[in-house]
Structure 1
Amino acid sequence: MYRILHNHKNMMANNILRVLSLLAFTCSFAFTFEPSPLQDFCVADFSSPAFVNGFACKDPNLADATDFFYSGLHLPGNTSNFLGSDIIPVNVAHIPGLNTLGISMVRIDYAPWGLSPPHTHPRASEILTVLEGMLYVGFVTSNPENRLITKVLQKGDVFVFPMGLVHFQRNFGYGNAVAFAAFSSQNPGVVTVANTVFGSNPRIGSEILTRAFAVDNTVVESLQMQF
C-alpha cells in the first residue's frame, strides 16, 4: 500500500513538473514578441527618465490627436544616392501613440533599378505592398539551407518577409517604383548586412573577415573604406 501511494505521489509530481515546464515554455515564447497593451494606449513620453523596454507612458488625459498622427507619406523620397532608393519611416519616434501597439510602417521610393540592399529587421516581420512600378524581391532562409526565395511584384502585389531573415528589393523597371511596408513592431530596427560587417565602429579585424569571406586582405580593406 505504501509503495502504491509513493508511486502515485511521484506520478503527480512528474505531471506537475511537466505542466510547469510547458507553461514556462509557452510564456517564454509569448514574450519573444511585443506584449499586448494593458490599457487603451500608452503615448510615448520621450522626456521621461524611466528606462523601460520601449517608452514610458505620458498621462493619458494629456493625449490628443497629434499623438496619433503623421503627415508626409504622399511626398516622394530622395533617391539621388548610391543605392537609388529612399526610406521614409513612420514608427514610434514619429507617432508617439504607436508605443506598445506593435506596429509601424515605411514608404520606400526606388529610382530606376534602385536597390534596398540585403538587410534584416531583428524585431519584426514585414509585409510589403507595391503601389507603383515593378519590384524584384526576395529573402534567404536560415542555415544550413540558405535557400533564396524570390518573386517579381507588380502594382498591387503583396509580399511577406519573415522576421529576422535577410531580404532585399530592387526596382525591376525603367520607371520609378513606390512601395509601402508594414511591420509587426513599433520599432522594428534594421541591420544592413554590408554596413554592419564592413562599417562597424570599431572595425571588425581584417583577419576575421578575410577568413569568413575567403578573400584577400586588400579586398576587405577596400570594402571597409567604402563604408
Structure 2
Amino acid sequence: MSRIAEPLEDAIRSRHSIRRFLPTPVPREQILHLLDLAACAPSGVNTQPWHVYVLTGESRQKLTDALLAEFANPSFERRGEYDYYPAQWTEPYRARRRDTGQRLYSLLGIEKGDNARMQEQWARNYAFFDAPVGLIFTLDRVLGQGSLIDYGAFLQTLMIAARGAGLDTCVQAAFTEYHPVIRAQLQIPEAQMVLCGMSLGHADPDAPENRLVLPRIPASGFTQFRD
C-alpha cells in the first residue's frame, strides 16, 4: 500500500481547532501564499466561488469591538444567513455535540450550569481567539448549494496548508449570526452571503483549551463496501 507523504499526513492529523493564539504576526505574503494554495481546491465547472476578507491590526479590532457590542446587546436578533446546525438535534449528533462542550469546558474549568463563563468563552469567537489574523468568507447568493461543497474543500485546503506552514486555525460558523454587523463594518455587498470566519496564527502552547483534540470515528465505522 502506498503511503501518504509523512509531512502531509502530519499536517492533516495535527490540525485541530485552536481557541487561543499568540500575538505573533503573520506576514501578508504568507497569508496570500496560503490562500493561493487554498484556491487549488476543486469547484464545479471551475466557479471558484470564494471571496475572502483578511483582517489584521486596527481593522480586526474594530470588527471585534462592533461584534462584542452586539453580543452584549440583548435586543440584537442573532440569525444566521443559512441553517448550519439542525433545527432539532438527534442521535448520534446530539451526543457528539454534548461531548465536545463537556471536553472543552472541562479543560477550562467551567462547571455545568455556569452560563456566565460559557457566554464569556463563546464571546471569544468574536475576538478571533486573540489571533493576529481574522478571515471572513463570503459566497455570492446567485450560486447554488453545490458551491458549499466547493467552499468546504477550499477551507480544508487552507487549514491544512496553514498547518504545513507551522500555523494554526479555527474555522467559526459563529460569525454568520452577526452578518449585518460584519457586512456594515467590511462593506460587504448584499449579493454576498457571510458563510463563516476563521482565526489564523500561532497557537498558544500553554492554553488548556488548545489541548482539546476530539475523537474521530474510523473509516470502518462509516464506510460500506459494495463488492
Q: Given the two structures, how large is their TM-score scaled by the length of structure 1?
A: 0.25
Higher relative contact order (CA 8 A, sep 6+): 2
Larger CA Rg, structure 1 vs 2: 1
Greater per-residue helix proportion:
2
TM value normalised by structure 2: 0.25
Which protein is richer in strand relative to its size?
A: 1
